[in-house]
Structure 1
Amino acid sequence: MSGYVGDLSAAQEAALNRFRQRVSDVTKPEHSDHFLLRWLRGFLEVVPADDIKRHALWLLEGFMDRLKQSSKKHGRNIETIIIIIDFENFSLRQLYSWQVITLLTDMLKVYEDNYPEILEMAYVINAPGFFPLLWKLVRPFLTQRTVEKVGIYGIDGWKAALLERLDPDALPQNWGGNMVGPDGDPRCPHLICPGGEVPDSYREELAKRRLTEENGATLQRIGQRSRWELPVQVSRSGEQLSWSFQTASGDLAFGLRYESPFGESVTSSEYLIELQRLSSCSLFPERGCLVCEKPGNYVLEFDNSYSWVTPKTLAYIVEVLPPPEEEEETSSL
C-alpha cells in the first residue's frame, strides 16, 4: 500500500485513526486526512536518526562542559542554560515526517532522563500556525517542571521577553540585541546555525552510496513473515564485532544477542541490542561496532516477520577485528 488516501492497509488505517484521535483537540477543519498522512508517511532523508541523536548528545555534553568552565571562570555555580528555538521561515514540509516526530520525542526522553534541571528557560519564537499540533505530540514526553520553563511566542512579543533575561550585548540584533557578525550580519551566523533547506544534491549523493557498492558486501534474501540470523564466533574477549547492513527497499528489524560458547555446562543467551525496526535502513547503511567482553557466539538477527507480503534483500558486511589496543600497536609500527 502506498500510504496515501484511498490506498491504505489495515495497519495504516489504524495508525491514521489513532493519530487523528490523539491530535483531535488541536486540528482544524482544513486538516484533512491528506494533511495528517503527511506526518505519518515522511522519513528522514539525508541524515540517519542515530547520527542526529549522537550529535544531540554531543551538544548536551558540550553544554555541561561549558557550565563547568563558566562556573570556574566566574567563581560561582552556573548550572542552567537558556535555549532559543526560532521557527522563522519554518514550514510544515520540514516537519511532516512521523519519523522526525519520533526522533524528537526520543531525544526529549534522553534529555529528561539524563540531563534534568539544566534548563533555565526555553523560548520558542516565531511559532507557526501548526505549532499547537507539534506541541500536542511532544508535550507528554516532558515533565511538568520542564513545561513550565517553555515560553511560546508567535511573531510578536518575544523580543521584550528575551531582553528580560538576556544581556543585549550577548544577543544578536535579529533577536533584539546588539550583537552582529564579523561582516555586520544581524543574525550572527558565525555563532548561530542558520538552518535552511537541505540541497537536493545531498540526496542525490546519498543515493549513490549503497552498501552493495562496497567491497566484501554479501546479499541475503529474507522472505515475508520470516527472519534470518547470522551467528559470528568471537574467540577472545576484547575483539571487536563490526557490522554494516542496508536493505534494497523497506524497513527491517535488527537485534544482537550473545550466546555462551558451546561446551559450557550451562548455556546462556542475552540480548545486547533489543530487536527494533529501523525505518531508514534502506536509505543509509546501518553501521555499528561492539567490543566483545567475552568469547562466544554473537548472533545478528534480521526480522521481517511483521511484513506479510514483502520480502527484503539485505546487503551486509560483518567482521571480527582485533582488540583496540592491538590495532593501536599495529598502527604504530
Structure 2
Amino acid sequence: GAAARAGGEPIPWADPELKAALGALGALPGAEEVLADLGCEYLVASFLATNGLKPDQALEALRQTADWRRTSGATAARQRFMTKLPDFKDFPHALHILQHMPMHEGLDAVDRRGLPFAVRCMGMADVVGLFGKLTEGDMLEWQVCVSEMRLLRVEAYARKTGRLGEVTLLQDMTCPEGLITKWRRNHAKMGIMRKVTTMMDMNYPGLLGPVILTNAPWAVHAILQVLRPLLPARISQKIEAVPEFQTVERLRELIESSRLPKFLGGEVEDEEFVPGRVAAAGPVDGGTELYIAAGRCEERGIFLSKGDIAAYGFNVAGTSSQDVNFGCRFEPDGASPSGALEVRAAERVKEATGGSYVAPGRGRLVLAFDNSYSWVMPKTVRYECSLLPPEVASVANGAPGN
C-alpha cells in the first residue's frame, strides 16, 4: 500500500475515507516514485486532507513538494532527525534567532490533546536586528528544521491515535515599548516572514493549527479586521486574538498550567521557559484605567486626519454584572455639536467591546462612558484608543502596500 512505499511504520488511520483515498492515490500512475521520494506517509495523508481527499489533485501537489523537499534540505533534515532529534538551540542559526525573537519550542510543550504547541514572543521580536545578519535563505533553513521536528511529533501522535494532528502557535503580543511603535519599526522586514510562512503552508499543509495572539491590545483586533481579507483563507481562519484580561482563561482551556509560563498564566518561571524574554514591568498595552463616579459621564478622544484609522476598545473591571453605557461619535472640525456623526449608538455594555473607525476628514473620535444611570455604584473601565500605523490605513484605503 501507499504507507509502505511512503516509508516508516504504517499509521493505523481511523478515518475510512482517508484510508480509501490513500489506497486510491497509491494506485495512480507515477505515484509510487513520488511516495518513495517523500518517505512520509503522514505528509501524503495531510495533502489528501487539504485537497478534499482528491487523489489526482493531491498527487500533483505532492510531486511539487517532493522536488521542493530535495532542494530545500527538508529531506536531509528528516533523515538526520529520525536518527536523533537535536536540541532546539542546536538548529542552524538558532542562537542568533533566539537572541532577536524570544520563543519556546520543545518536547515538553504539549496541549491537553497531546499535540505540540509553540510560543513566540512577537511583541518582543526585533525583526530588523534578526535580518541584520540573517538572510532569507538562513531563515528558511531554520524554519525547515522547525517544521521537520513538528512533523515528526504529529506523526508520533498519528501512530498513537490514527488521526492527523496540528501544532498550536501562541504569539504573545506583550510589548514594553508599545505594539504600534514595534509594528512601524519591523514592518519593512515582515514581507520576508510572510514569504516563509506561505512556503511552509504550501509544503506542510495542515501542520500549523490555531494561531492564538495572546495579550492582544485592541489595535491588534482592528489590524486583523483590515488584513484578514488579504491573507490566504487557510491561514486567516486560524487566527484568534485574545485580549490581556482573557488570555489566562483561554489558554488554560487548551493547556495545563504546569506546561505554561507565568506570563501566560502558568506555573513555569518565565526565564526558564523563554530565556532572554524581557520582563515587562507592570501591565503592558493593557490600556488606561478610567474611574467613572456614580451619576457621572466621562469622555475621552483622539484627533484624526482624513483616512486615519483609530482602534478603540474597553472592558469594565470588577464582576460580570458591572456595566456602563457606552457610545462613540466623530466630531468633524468646525462642526456644531449637532453635526457630530454617530459611530456607535449608546448602549449598556458588560462584555469587552471594541472596533475601529476610518476618519472621513479632520476631527475627533470621542468615546463616551456614561454611568449617570447609576446613583450608587462607581465603575472602572480599562480602555484603549490608538491610531493605527499608516501602512494599515493605506491597505484599508486600497493603496498598494507590501
Pair in the same fold by TM > 0.5:
no
Higher helix share: 2
| TM score, norm. by length of structure 1 | 0.38
